[in-house]
Amino acid sequence: MPEIKFYAQKAVPVEMHKVKIVQQLNLLPVDERVKKMYEAGFNTFQLHNADIFLDMLTDSGVNAMSDEMLAGMMKPDDAYAGSESFFRMNNKLTEMFGIDNLLPVHQGRAAENVLATRFVKPGNCVIMNYHFTTAKAHITRVGGHVEELISDEGLQSHSDLPFKGNIDLEKLENCIKKETPENVAFLRLEAGTNLVGGQPISYQNMKDATDIAKKYGILTVLDASLLQDNLYFIKTREEALKDVDTREIMRMIADLFDMIYFSGRKFGFARGGGILVRDAELYHSMEDLIPMFEGFLTYGGMSVREIEAMTVGFEESVNMDVISQAPQFIKYCVDGLVDYGVPVITPAGGLGAHLDAAAICSHIPQDQYPAGALVCALYICGGIRGMERGTLSEERNPDGSERFASMELVRLAFPRRVFTLSQTEYAMDRVKWLYDHRDLIGGLKFTHEPATLRFFTGKLEPVSDWPIKLAEAYKADFGADQ
Question: Which are the catalytic amino acids?
Answer: 80, 132-133, 223, 266, 389, 455
Rounded CA separation 198/34 (Å):
30
Q: Which residues, in sequence order, are CB contacts of 320 under 8 Å at separation 6+?
A: 1, 232, 235, 246
Q: How many CB atoms lie within 10 A of CB 474?
A: 25
Q: Measure CA 232 to chain center.
A: 15
Q: Using the CB atoms, write b or e for 263-292: b if 16+ within 10 Å.
A: bbbbbbbbbbbbbbbbeeeebeebeebbee
H or E element in which residue 101 lies? strand 101-105
Give CA–CA dist 136/128, Å, rounded: 10
3-state secondary structure of 100: coil
Three-state DSSP at 258 gives: coil
The DSSP call for residue 64 is: P
Judged by DSSP in three states, 148 sits in: strand
The strand ranges marked E within 225-379 are: 259-263, 273-277, 352-356
In angstroms, the CA 151 to CA 166 distance is 6
Centroid of chain to Cα 285:
29
Q: How far apart are CA 366 and CA 91, in angstroms?
A: 48
- Start-to-end CA distance of the chain, whole Å, equals 34
C-alpha 345, offset from chain centre: 15
- Say if CB 359 and CB 157 are below 8 A apart: yes
Q: How many CB atoms lie within 10 A of CB 319?
A: 15
CA dihedral 297→300→305→309, nearest 10 degrees, is -100
Residue count of the chain:
482
Distance between alpha carbon 127 and the CA centroid of its chain, in Å? 19
